[in-house]
Amino acid sequence: MGTLKIGVIGCGAIGREHIKRLSNRLTGSKVVAVMDVFEEGAKKGAAMANEGCKVYSDINAIVNDPDVDALVVTTPGFAHKDAVMAAVKAGKPVFCEKPLCTTSDDCKEIVDAEMATGKHLVQVGFMRRYDRGYKQMKELIDGGTFGKPLVIKCTHRAINVDDSYTTEMAVTDTAIHEIDVLHWLLGDDWKKVQVIMGENTKNAHEGLADPQIMIMQSKGGATVVLEVYVNCGFGYDINCEVVCEEGTITLPCPSFPTVRKDCKISTDIEQNWILRFIDSYDVELQDWIDSVAKGEVNGPNAWDGYIAEVTADALVKAQKTGTFEEVSFGDTPAFYK
């Protein structure tokens, strides 16, 4: 099996994390080119990549470089469509960070373009499917001894966000992980969704609704209550409890030593997504490298990206209406079954 020569588009926070893992930690890949609209960013990315890494400022140039076998897209969501479309048109495999695109119409264009090639090319970065804790939860649910999942209680908390983070991003950037991973965990699709805006934290910047409570009901009858709270101040705190007919299943938290000092027992909470899901990103991208070598896409595909965004569109609508909004999309095309 040869080395997969990768071009990375977008060298910001996660772009640089992925460049480091693709260049140093994982096997079978090499970052041969990077691109960013911000020249300094691209240079920083190249400095972390394998020796001789080329620097581009144009998407089509990096995608069509004959030395580049496959692409990793880590621009902000609004720029995903152009990069993924260029890769699909060039017939090259592409791993795109979540969300696939920021509207379901754009995601559908990617689905249609991929199907037109007749080849499976697109994987979406829903890394929680590769997290050990979520995988163990899925095995327990699928094992059947816990019975039917009835209620899922989740938190998606971050210490803080910068001023560019909007109320809609609580759905499109943050809750999109639960939209995908819980659909996968339950093996079920979403039927209707609602958002309840409560009292705002004083720590949210002007115009941002935080926290938000999102409710999602599945076709099979499970109800999710998700708290998205991105200025919680105390840590990156991801929790998930599935209440089933015969018992409950709780997502394990990363383990840190428990210390006893000054009449207190305490333990750490992870600081951010980089550390909380470090192993999941490694496993996810190693699996992508290995499956690309076989001409396959094993992970979340463009259809998963599309149905997640249809659900996100309904949640964004629900943020404004305050009522339940229906989630509706057609049957899974045979190409993705």
Interface residues with ligand NAD (CB under 6 A)?
9-15, 35-38, 41, 74-77, 79, 97-98, 125, 127, 173, 273, 277
- DSSP structure string for 246-277: TEEEEPPPPP---EEETTEEE-----SHHHHT
Cα–Cα dist 124/295, whole Å: 16
Check if the beta carbon of residue 116 is closer than 8 Å to that of residue 189.
no
| Binding partner of 158, given ligand ISE, ligand NAD, none, CB within 5-8 angstroms per partner class | ligand ISE
In the bound complex, what is the minimum distance in angstroms from residue 301's beta carbon to ligand ISE? Answer: 18
Does 218 help bind ligand ISE (rule: CB under 6 A)? Answer: no
Q: Is 211 exposed, middle or buried (0-12, 13-18, 19+ CB in 10 A)?
A: buried
In the bound complex, what is the minimum distance in angstroms from residue 174's beta carbon to ligand ISE? Answer: 4
Does 174 help bind ligand ISE (rule: CB under 6 A)? Answer: yes
| Binding partner of 79, given ligand ISE, ligand NAD, none, CB within 5-8 angstroms per partner class | ligand NAD
| Binding partner of 125, given ligand NAD, ligand ISE, none, CB within 5-8 angstroms per partner class | ligand NAD
SS3 assignment, position 217? strand
- State the number of binding residues for ligand ISE (CB under 6 A): 5
Q: Which of 158, 240, 308, 310 binds ligand ISE (CB under 6 A)?
A: 158
Joined together, the tokens standing for residue 111 give 């689905």
Pairing of strands 4-9, 29-35: parallel
In the bound complex, what is the minimum distance in angstroms from residue 74's beta carbon to ligand NAD? Answer: 5
Does 173 help bind ligand ISE (rule: CB under 6 A)? Answer: yes
| Binding partner of 174, given ligand NAD, ligand ISE, none, CB within 5-8 angstroms per partner class | ligand ISE
Does 273 help bind ligand ISE (rule: CB under 6 A)? Answer: yes
Bridge partner residues of 156 (DSSP): 228, 238
Q: Which of 316, 163, 306, 308 shows the shortest CA–CA distance to 228?
A: 316
Cα 334 to its chain centre, rounded Å, is: 24
Residue 328: how many CB atoms within 10 A of its CB? Answer: 12
* Length of the chain as a residue count: 337
| Binding partner of 243, given ligand ISE, ligand NAD, none, CB within 5-8 angstroms per partner class | none
Cα–Cα dist 111/130, whole Å: 23
In the bound complex, what is the minimum distance in angstroms from residue 220's beta carbon to ligand ISE? Answer: 26
In the bound complex, what is the minimum distance in angstroms from residue 230's beta carbon to ligand ISE? Answer: 6
Task: Kindly list the residues in this chain that would bind ligand ISE in the complex (CB under 6 A).
Answer: 158, 173-174, 177, 273
